[in-house]
Structure 1
Amino acid sequence: MGKKLFVLLIVLMSLSLIGIIFVQSFFINNSLENEDKNFTLSVKRALSFVSNSIEEMELRDAFSKLQPHLNKDTKVDSVKIRQLFITSEDDLNDLTIINRNTVLEERLKVPSLFFEIDADSFNISKLTNERVKEVYSNSSLDGNTSIKPMQRLVEISSMPIIEKQMYEDVIKEYLKDIPIYKRVTTKQVEAFLKRELKDEGIDLNFEFAIYDDDLATKVQTQNFEKEKAYGIPVFLDNNKESNYNLWVDFPDRKKYLISSVLKMGFLSILFTSIIIIAYASAIYQLIKQRQISQIKTDFINNMTHEFKTPIATINLALDSIKNPKIINDQEKVKRYLGMIKEENKRMHAQVENVLRISKLEKNELNISKEHIELHDLVEDAITHVELIVEDRKGYVKMHLNAAESSVLANETHFTNVIVNILDNAIKYSDDAPKIDVYTENVGNNIIVKIADQGNGMSKAVAKRVFEKFYREHTGNVHNVKGHGLGLAYVKRIVEDHQGHISVESEKGKGSTFIIKMPLIS
């Protein structure tokens, strides 16, 4: 995959993920706003019913007190009589029908004690209605002569109950001057609110208060706060106006709204999180695979370079041996055969390194361990590189200060560990390699330090130096022979021996590899 396509793919995936998160956030926020609006509408509807219930209760109570005075012989202040005549003709039967409607309005003085107002009494109207139906025969009518009706029906209805609108107008007019706490109690308002809110599906704790304009009245709960309360006018007068407002506050309103979308929000967050994790994992794997692909490409290039030189050397040696002048020179033939053998061993060693790492990855490498002296392994490993170091005018010095060096290890593999580290110290020293090997005891462990004064490495490289196939890139990736498997092999072998390996390095000042191994008695 090309770099541009790879970057484009990541950008598109990132934008898609951001878009999904944005849509989910918008959807949840929109749902929360809708829940808030529905909650507000439900509360206001409940408050409207509460306002009506309070007014109806007050009017009903007032009339229940007023009713007895309408049924007694109350003092009549004034009387009005209104009459209405309606005449109709029945041509089929030759009849004249006269309907007379008489309304008697008696103005009564009623004591106002039960209304707790300043006046001694107030006036209400008691209405009595009389309806008379008279039927005359037209054939019996003669000028001014009055003939008795053939039929007379009389219906009298007394209306001691004041007509509803008149009743409300009168009562409201007298009640508006009564203190609010005498018109309704806190318990009554609370009962109405509980009932109406429950009918609206709102089961929340609430606080309430009735305010006279901006002043609180005695009708209120203890913890009421007006800041976020819902309000509605109560005790409307005949002009549908009022100075009183009922306010309701819900302390747990936010929790209620959040809980209403909590399940949906939780599922949305859960699935979005899964998408984010999957996305991050996919991106990580893409980057990792890209890195591995690049590393493997470098590895193949390096291996090709490693094999190219010995193959070329072998070919040259074989061509030289075939030369008639050389084939009879036994010393030169032996020399060339020795070169072929060494180069063959070198290629074989490279292949063995690859196979060892492959087997370690699959846990197929059988490592038998035995009781050995680590100092002996160090001395043996140094002999493998001693001639190369001397040839480059360098040195390897041993400082074996550990009193105890007995460990449980595989002699062959652990020798390879020391040789690999020494080989790296030699390869990455531009000048004569200068190597010091130290041992010391720390608790129940032995510490082996292999320090060189070579090129060193940066902190970033030191963090990755034990990764498989990893090699530090320089201007020429083949300036030092290798394929990035040696230190990966070292780390796996040390860890398989329950040990630990680390590196301390500074660019231009050399590196120190530290191996920590458990001692055995």
Structure 2
Amino acid sequence: MKKKVFLVLVILMTLSLIGIIFVQGYYISNSVANKQDQFTFNVKKGLSSVSKEIGDEEYRDVVTKIRDLLRQGVAVNVDTTAFIDLYIKQDISNTDETLIYRNGILEENYKLSSAIFDIGLDSVSIKKIISKNETKVYKSSSLDGTETTLFKSGETNRTEDIDFEPLYLKYSSRRPIHKRINVEKIDRLIKLQLLQDDIDIDYEFAVYNNDLATKVKTENFNYENAFMSVPFFDNKNENNYRLLVEFPDRKEFIWSSIIGMIILSIIFTTIIIVAYSSALFQLIKQRQISEIKTDFINNMTHEFKTPIATINLALDSIKNPKIIDDKEKVQRYLHMIREENKRMHAQVENVLRISKLEKNELNISKDRVRLHDLIEDAISHVELIVEDRGGHIETSLKAATSTVLANETHFTNVLVNILDNAIKYSPEAPIIQVETINVGNNVLVNIKDHGSGMSKAVAKRVFEKFYREHTGNVHNVKGHGLGLAYVKRIVDDHHGHISVESEKDKGSTFTIKLPLIS
């Protein structure tokens, strides 16, 4: 896949994922807003129903009392809560006359301090009743216009057409609110109305008159936190009662109704993000592996091309009649063929070893060995090459104890690979320092060179299979990126740890840590 096509696909998939996340967020936000609106609507509907039911019930009670009086032949006209007019109408059968008996009662209340009366109360209520009697005689013909407000004893059929609203308004306008309704009744009605809409949370309420609190309220009501208010006893007079309610747990209730949907949305979105990230990571990794394999094939081709060319030249030289009889030159060319063949064989063996390690098919048996002996053996393998380039290897084997459980062959190869790496990446005469020290129950091996070094980005990936630092088309350093990958796998198999510290143009230090055995 071309790089531009791959980049476009990644951008499109990323934008699609971001779009899905935004759509989910928008949907959840709308769901919360809808739940809030629904909650507000249900509460308002419930409070309005409570207010209407209480008002209608009071109206029915007042009208029922008036009807009872009317059935007894008493007509009622209520001017105020303190003044009551009682009318009795009586027709005279022998004459064309009607008698109207009127009894006006004025009720006044007084409160006196208990200091006057030693009765143990804070105050004493005294009720004064002033009665006013009046009897009038009317001609029956002159009462046609007033019959709607006068009611004969025993005549109740016409009361169904009477408008009791004025009487009810006058009756209720001066009554204290706490005498008209109580907290328990309001609480019961609110609870029933809310349960009809599946709203089962704690609430507080109060009745206010012109923004002033009345005695009708719950203990913990807070006016500042009032959620909603509706008209209460909407009786079109100077009173302006409102029923206020607050819900301390309103937000939790609204979120709890959609928390399941939110959790599922988060889970599925997380799965999509993880799957997308994993797929993207795998795609990028596959591209990197593809590039690395391409570099590996190029490097392998270059590595094999030189020895093959050398072998061909040596064979052609041996065929030359002038050289075939020269045993010294023939031996020299045969030695070159053998060395180049060994070199190609070693490269193939590295590839096979890595493959077997990944499949856990490489049998590594371990014995008690002295790490210092392995170090000295490894140095002997590369010492001639170092000296040939005018360099040297310094050793400082200071570890008092160096006995480890290791495979002698493979761990010697590990040390040889690191030393060979130090030689290859030393542009000048290689100067290598090998040091061992004891740290706790471990032994550390430090192999330091003063070569070209590497950047931090390269140091992080130097133990990856097939990885080599890009140097363009310049193949001044031989290898195919398998040596250090093999080193890491063997060290890990020995329950050890390997790391590298490096700085560009200042060299590298490889550190191997292995557990000691007694």
Give the shorter-chain TM-score range: 0.7 to 0.9
**Structure 2 equivalent of residue 51 of structure 1:** 51
Superposed CA deviations along residues 142-184 of structure 1, whole A, max 9, x for unmatched, are: xxxxxxxxxxxxxxx7218954762233122221122222221
Q: Which residue of 1 aligns with 2:320?
A: 323
Structure 1 residue ranges without an equivalent (≥5) = 82-103, 130-156
Is contact 1:205–1:252 with CA below 8 Å preserved after alignment? yes
* Equivalent-residue separation in structure 2 for 1:431 and 1:106 (angstroms): 138
Q: CA deviation at 1:228?
A: 4.7
Determine which of 322, 325, 337 is the counterpart of 1:340.
337
**1:446-466, Cα deviation, whole Å (9 max, x unpaired):** 111111111111111111111
For the Cα contact (< 8 Å) 1:106–1:127, is it kept in 2? no
Secondary structure of the corresponding residue to residue 155 of structure 2: strand
Give TM-score scaled by structure 2 length: 0.84
1:19 is aligned to: 19
Q: Is the 8 A contact 1:107 1:125 kept in 2?
A: no
Deviation at 1:105, TM superposition (A): 12
Q: 281, 292, 296: which is aligned to 2:293?
A: 296
Match in the other structure for 1:390? 387
Correspondence list, 1:90-129, <5 A: 125=149, 127-128=151-152
Distance in 1 separating the partners of 2:516 and 2:21: 55
Question: Is residue 282 from structure 1 mapped to residue 262 from structure 2 by the alignment?
Answer: no
Q: Is 1:515 the equivalent of 2:516?
A: no
The residue type paired with residue 195 of structure 1 is L
Return 336-345 or 109-118, whichever deviates more.
109-118
> How far apart are residue 35 of structure 1 and its match?
1.5
Structure 2 distance, partners of 1:323, 1:80, is 162
**CA deviation string 1:351-395 (max 9, x = no partner):** 000000000000000001111111110000000000000011000
Contact kept? 1:453, 1:511, Cα under 8 Å: yes
Give the match for residue 234 of structure 2. Answer: 236
The residue that corresponds to 2:363 in the other structure is: 366
Q: How many residues align?
A: 471
Q: After TM superposition, give the deviation of residue 79 of structure 1 in Å.
A: 5.6
Query: 1:192-341 to 2 correspondence within 5 Å?
Result: 192-226=189-223, 227-238=225-236, 243-341=240-338
For 2:260 and 2:131, locate their aligned partners in 1 and report how far apart those are by CA, in whole Å: 63
Residue among 346, 349, 356 paired with 1:349: 346
Q: 1:497 pairs with 494, 497, 508, which one? A: 494
Residues 429, 228 of structure 1: alpha-carbon distance in 2 compared, 3 angstrom cutoff: farther
The answer for the alignment partner of 1:7 in structure 2 is: 7
Letter in 2 for 1:321: I
Shift of residue 112 of structure 1?
8.1
**Stretch of structure 1 that moved more, 308-317 or 57-66:** 57-66
TM-score of the superposed pair, with normalisation by structure 1:
0.84
Is 1:187 aligned to residue 179 of structure 2?
no
- Is the Cα contact below 8 Å between 2:458 and 2:469 reproduced in 1? yes
For the 8 Å contact 1:71–1:160, the answer to whether it is kept is no
Equivalents in 2 of 1:106, 1:480: separation in Å? 133
- Percent of residue pairs bearing the same amino acid type: 61
Amino acid of the structure 1 residue aligned with 2:455: S
- Residue aligned with 2:258, SS: helix
User: How far apart are the structure 2 equivalents of 1:481 and 1:284?
Assistant: 31
**2:380 & 2:338 partners in 1: Cα distance?**
20
Three-state SS of the structure 2 residue aligned to 1:43 is: helix
Shift of the alpha carbon at 1:127? 3.6
Instruction: Tell me which moved more, 400-409 or 64-73.
Output: 64-73
Segments of 5+ residues of structure 2 without an aligned counterpart are 75-84, 92-97, 111-126, 133-145
Cα 1:370/1:106, change in 2 over 3 Å: farther
User: Helix, strand or coil: the match of 1:314?
Assistant: helix
Cα RMSD for the two superposed structures? 3.0
2:454 to 428, 452, 457: 457
Residues 125 and 162, structure 1, Cα contact 8 Å, conserved in 2 = no
Q: What is the CA-CA distance between 1:28 and the residue it aligns to?
A: 1.6
Aligned AA for 2:478?
A: K
Corresponding residue SS for 1:232: strand
